[in-house]
Amino acid sequence: MKELNVRSLSGELVRLSSETLEELNTTLRGEVICPDDARYEASRQIWNAMIDREPALIVRCTGTADVMQAVSFARQMNLLVSVRGAGHNIAGKSLCDEAMLIDLSGINYVHVDPDRRRAVAGPGATLGDLDHEAQRYGLAVPVGINSTTGVGGLTLGGGFGWLSRSLGLSVDNLVAAEVVTAQGERLRCDAENHSDLFWAIRGGGGNFGIVTSFEFNAHPVGPLVMSGPAVFPFDQARSLLQAYRKFCASSPEQLTTWAVIRTAPPLPFLDPQYHGQLAVIIVALYNGPMDEGERAIAPIRELGQPIADGFAPHPFVAFQQAFDPLLTPGSRNYWKSHNFAELSDGLIDTLVEYGGRLPSPQSEIFVAQLGGAINRVASDATAYPHRDVEYVMNVHTRWDEHADDRECIGWAREFFDATKAYATGGVYVNFISEDEERVDGAYGSNYAKLAQVKSTYDPDNFFRINQNIAPS
């Protein structure tokens, strides 16, 4: 290994000799990857192709002991550190130029105890890994909607998806965690042990340490769930969204629906003449018996005049992967997001206006229905504070060419500003893009307590490459 310059916590460069790097490498079960290594380029790639950063070195960990060693080494050398799980974060916070990257992608395991209905996952596991193992026993943990998302990053920010209205957020189902602190110590935290730290990691992101193990409650789900999309032509958008609002107000908690404005993908049940045409897609999943699900979903068909109806019993694992083809790595992605307490007429008009001029064929606007079990938890029970939100909107701009950056990003920002008047001011921390400073909106009324916990476990702000909470 060649000697390297690595950025320090105080900003200057620290020179690491080849001997120092070799010594670090020998202490790991994993490995040290430097820029001259043939694996370096692939190792620094993340989901969002807009993010192109070059860490000075990558420490690929295979277990908790490696993470402890990596943190201790960085502290000894006073190095700036970023942390990567599955690399799916939209803002690319897992990468930092000239810093040391602690890569957790190799700590990829899921263990399920069907008798206790518990699932334990490593920080390198994806939602697909967790779904696959849990469904072998007819169980599931409430997580997100894209199977390549990392369990770790999703959970630390809150975590919502198709099961959340009936079973709560990912953090509401987290019962224990193993955390490596900024001092390189391993702590187990739960409701009885280091309860302040356990509170903080349930929505406070990666500010307080590196979580090397997540233990969740798992619930009976599936294996088949009544689910699918109904596709409506875009010229029905305004009346359809107004009818959708009324439908959501009385829908059971077992049913979760999302409204998506985008060009229609080549769905197998959709007439090819509509492929690529602007559409409103209502996607739904019912967590319960098939007959109940059919009755709950049936009124969606009456919200407008659908051009395709894909509602049917689907394997839960398959439905969790249904949107993966629209979210593959390698494209440029820029998100803007708001929380809403309601879908007002003014908001619906704005959705229709901007939905009518999406900047690229891959871009979409989705409005996710929340509420239910999520909102029965007190806003200060976990670090995730947004317990009064009924809908989350994510403006998901996606394209392939660098030359289209200005148009796509400009459209997203303009749309975000146009909908701000209808929003709560809060934002889901996992939806914050690279250029945004919305920490107050992410952590809300819990920020002051989070800063106190930060002072206890990371008073020097060692973990700072994140949506950062400064020590109080």
User: pLDDT tens-digit profile of 329-354?
Assistant: 999 999 999 999 999 999 999 999 99
User: Is the confidence at residue 94, as pLDDT, over 90?
Assistant: yes
Query: What residues pair up with 368 in beta bridges, in sequence order?
Result: 258, 392
- For residue 122, the one-letter residue type is G
- For residue 149, the one-letter residue type is T
Alpha carbon dihedral 440, 359, 243, 144, in 10-degree steps, equals: -50
Tell me what pLDDT residue 1 has: 82
Helix (H, G, I), strand (E, B) or coil at 189: strand
Give the pLDDT confidence of 279-314 residue by residue, as tens digits.
999 999 999 999 999 999 999 999 999 999 999 999
Tell me what pLDDT residue 150 has: 97
Q: Percent of the chain having pLDDT more than 70? A: 100
CATH number of 110-221+444-457: 3.30.465.10
Query: What average pLDDT is seen over the chain?
Result: 97
DSSP 238-273: HHHHHHHHHHHHT--TTEEEEEEEEEPP--TTS-GG
DSSP 102-122: EE-TT---EEEETTTTEEEE-
**CATH T-level fold of 224-439:** Vanillyl-alcohol Oxidase; Chain A, domain 3 (3.40.462)
Helices (H), 142-278: 151-157, 164-167, 195-201, 237-249
User: Is the confidence at residue 472, as pLDDT, over 90?
Assistant: no
Distance CA(472)–CA(469), nearest Å, equals 9
Q: Which residue has the tokens 């280091």?
A: 194
If you count them, how many residues does the chain have?
472
Distance CA(290)–CA(272), nearest Å, equals 29
**Whole-number Cα distances in Å, 24 to 19, 44, 69, 101:** 9, 20, 8, 14
User: Measured at the alpha carbon of residue 87, what is the angle toward residues 85 and 91, in degrees to the nearest 5?
Assistant: 120
Tell me what pLDDT residue 50 has: 96
Strands 57-60 and 100-103: parallel
Q: What is the pTM of this model?
A: 0.96
Write out the two tokens for 115: 């008798």
User: Is the confidence at residue 434, as pLDDT, over 90?
Assistant: no
**Whole-number Cα distances in Å, 455 to 54, 207, 213, 328, 430:** 30, 11, 23, 38, 23
- The answer to whether the CB of 458 falls within 8 A of the CB of 209 is yes
**Whole-number Cα distances in Å, 458 to 85, 180, 206, 207, 471:** 20, 11, 11, 8, 7
Distance CA(104)–CA(107), nearest Å, equals 5
Mean pLDDT for 406-414 is: 98
Strands 100-103 and 174-180: unpaired
> What residue spans define the domains of the chain?
4-103, 110-221+444-457, 224-439
361 upstream amide cis, omega within 30 of 0: no
Which residues have a Cβ under 8 Å from the Cβ of 132 and sit 6 or more positions away? Answer: 110, 317
**CATH T-level fold of 4-103:** 3.30.43
Tell me what pLDDT residue 126 has: 98
